[in-house]
Amino acid sequence: MSPHSNRSRSVVVGALGIFEILSWGSTFYLLSVLAAPIAAETGWPLAGVVGGLSAGLLVAGLVSPRIGEAVDRRGGRPVLAFSALVTASGLVVLALAPALPTFLGGWLLLGLGMGTGLYDPAFATLGRLYGSEARPAITALTLWGGFASTVSWPLSAFLVEQAGWRGTCLAYAGLQLCVALPLVLALVPNPAPHPLRKGEPSAPVPTALGGRERRAFLLMAGVLTLGGTVMTLASVHLVTLLQARGVPLASAVTYGALIGPSQVAARILEMAGRGRYHPLWTLTAAMSLIALGILLLANGLPAVALALVLYGAGNGIYSIARGTVPLALFGPERYARLIGRLARPGLVAQALAPLVGAFVVTEGGADALFAILAALALANVGLVGALWRVR
């Protein structure tokens, strides 16, 4: 590979990395800082405000298979550009919303933005551009994405203080139009035609799966569904769970801050491996670390810090495995379409998980939620073991 192609690939990954930071910060992480100020200023119920994210994730899950097909046909550039435009539109609706129903309508647009702009479309974009050699680019992209909360939470807090929550939404809309959109249009190239479809651009890619491939697909979908559920439950209810184990609020927030650096450190270690082993090893390590972290966390002090470091490291490399395992299992030709299909159940699970978790905590307490988290995490280790047998 020439120095020029190396430089071009790093530029593309860098552009997508900045795009991902802005996309996650403008959607998934938006309410982490804004939910309380929105509820306080408007009088809307906090559950209704936070329900916007669940509605958005549900939309993202429903559209994800179509998005994978669009990336496969046209490449990621137009899909990601559309994401920037629709995300900006949704943010403007939020900023101008006079009532909660309008606010939730804005989240339906943001859900379309998430479905066309978060990791799965970006992974599909890299798969279409680089084929079987996309693994290092996918790993590097998740390293960029690991800084999304690190950048967006302080930025949101600053903007809320300076301009209020409505001004913050407008500022993020401006970043989508003035930074994210130009980056995609200027630096993300169109892919080459599929090798099997040169001269026949409209011919569909065969995605039918049979036998062992179908079993592998279903197992991978199960892993992503349980993984998304565990991640969302733990993220939304972490402070509540820690406090139930006797950790004071201030300490719980401090402990939670260990997750981000652990994610990034684990991704750096994965990059250092340079893809010398099958990505199923990455998935195995991710699910094992997450399960071990959850089990230690259920025991409370004094193992909380270690538990969250292990959990964070597992989540960090899980993001990589989400993109690289389907590429290895099913090949680059069908990758964009299949990753869109695989994304749906996980996103739908993420949409429903906060509501289910709140119900479990209310009715059964923290112990019940810990038991569910542990069961789901251990079940995922079992699914990965089954995936090894059918790959």
203 occurs within a structural domain: no
> What is the C-alpha separation between 353 and 258, in angstroms, rounded?
23
Where in the sequence is the domain holding 322, given as residue range(s)? 212-390
Q: Mean pLDDT over residues 91-112, rounded?
A: 97
Q: pLDDT, tens digit, for every residue of 314-358?
A: 998 998 898 889 988 888 888 888 888 888 888 888 888 888 888
Which of the four pLDDT bands, split at 50, 70 and 90, describes residue 196? low
Question: Are residues 220 and 151 part of one domain?
Answer: no
Question: Are residues 220 and 86 part of one domain?
Answer: no
206 occurs within a structural domain: no
Which of the four pLDDT bands, split at 50, 70 and 90, describes residue 107? very high
- Give residue 187's pLDDT: 94
Dihedral, 248, 47, 116, 286 alpha carbons, nearest 10:
30
Question: Are residues 251 and 177 part of one domain?
Answer: no
User: Among 125, 159, 190, which residue terminates a domain?
Assistant: 190
DSSP string, 307-353: HHHHHHHHHHHHHHHHHHHHHHHH-STTHHHHHHHHHHHHHHHHHHH
What's the whole-number average pLDDT of the chain?
87
- Give residue 207's pLDDT: 59
196 occurs within a structural domain: no
Q: pLDDT, tens digit, for every residue of 258-305?
A: 887 888 888 888 888 776 788 999 999 999 999 999 999 888 778 888
Question: Are residues 218 and 180 part of one domain?
Answer: no
- Give residue 4's pLDDT: 44
205 occurs within a structural domain: no
Q: Which one-letter amino acid corresponds to residue 69?
A: E
384 occurs within a structural domain: yes
Q: Mean pLDDT over residues 206-222, rounded?
A: 82
Question: Are residues 254 and 178 part of one domain?
Answer: no
Lowest mean per-residue pLDDT among 160-169, 214-223, 242-251: 242-251
Contact call for residues 263 and 316 (beta carbons, < 8 A): yes
For the ranges 176-180, 193-197, 243-247, 335-339, the maximum mean pLDDT occurs at 176-180
Q: Mean pLDDT over residues 215-238, rounded?
A: 89
- Give residue 2's pLDDT: 41
pLDDT more than 90, % of the chain: 48
Question: Are residues 290 and 148 part of one domain?
Answer: no
Q: At 134, list the tokens.
A: 């996309």
292 occurs within a structural domain: yes
Question: Are residues 371 and 228 part of one domain?
Answer: yes
Q: Which one-letter amino acid corresponds to residue 255?
A: Y
Nearest to 12 by CA among 75, 103, 65: 75
Q: pLDDT, tens digit, for every residue of 130-184?
A: 988 888 899 889 888 888 877 888 899 899 999 999 999 999 999 999 999 999 9
197 occurs within a structural domain: no
Tell me whether the omega of the peptide bond preceding residue 302 falls within 30 degrees of 0, making it cis: yes
Separation of CA 123 from chain center? 11
pTM of the complete model: 0.83
CATH assignment at residue 146: 1.20.1250.20
CA-based R_g, the chain, Å: 20
Which of the four pLDDT bands, split at 50, 70 and 90, describes residue 80? very high
- Give residue 297's pLDDT: 87
- Give residue 388's pLDDT: 92
User: Among 128, 158, 190, which residue terminates a domain?
Assistant: 190
202 occurs within a structural domain: no
Task: Say whether pLDDT at 23 is over 90.
Answer: yes
Question: Are residues 381 and 312 part of one domain?
Answer: yes
- Give residue 163's pLDDT: 95
> What is the C-alpha separation between 227 and 233, in angstroms, rounded?
10
Task: Say whether pLDDT at 206 is over 60.
Answer: no
User: Among 190, 224, 254, which residue terminates a domain?
Assistant: 190
- Give residue 336's pLDDT: 86
Q: pLDDT, tens digit, for every residue of 44-60?
A: 998 889 889 999 999 99
Task: Say whether pLDDT at 7 is over 70.
Answer: no
- Give residue 343's pLDDT: 87
Helix (H) or strand (E) holding 378: helix 335-390
Question: Are residues 365 and 231 part of one domain?
Answer: yes
Question: Are residues 179 and 251 part of one domain?
Answer: no
Task: Say whether pLDDT at 202 is over 50.
Answer: no
Task: Say whether pLDDT at 252 is over 80.
Answer: no
In the 8-state DSSP scheme, what is residue 81? H
Q: In the chain, how many domains are there?
A: 2
Question: Are residues 151 and 235 part of one domain?
Answer: no
Question: Are residues 35 and 139 part of one domain?
Answer: yes
Task: Say whether pLDDT at 108 is over 60.
Answer: yes
Say how many residues make up the chain.
391
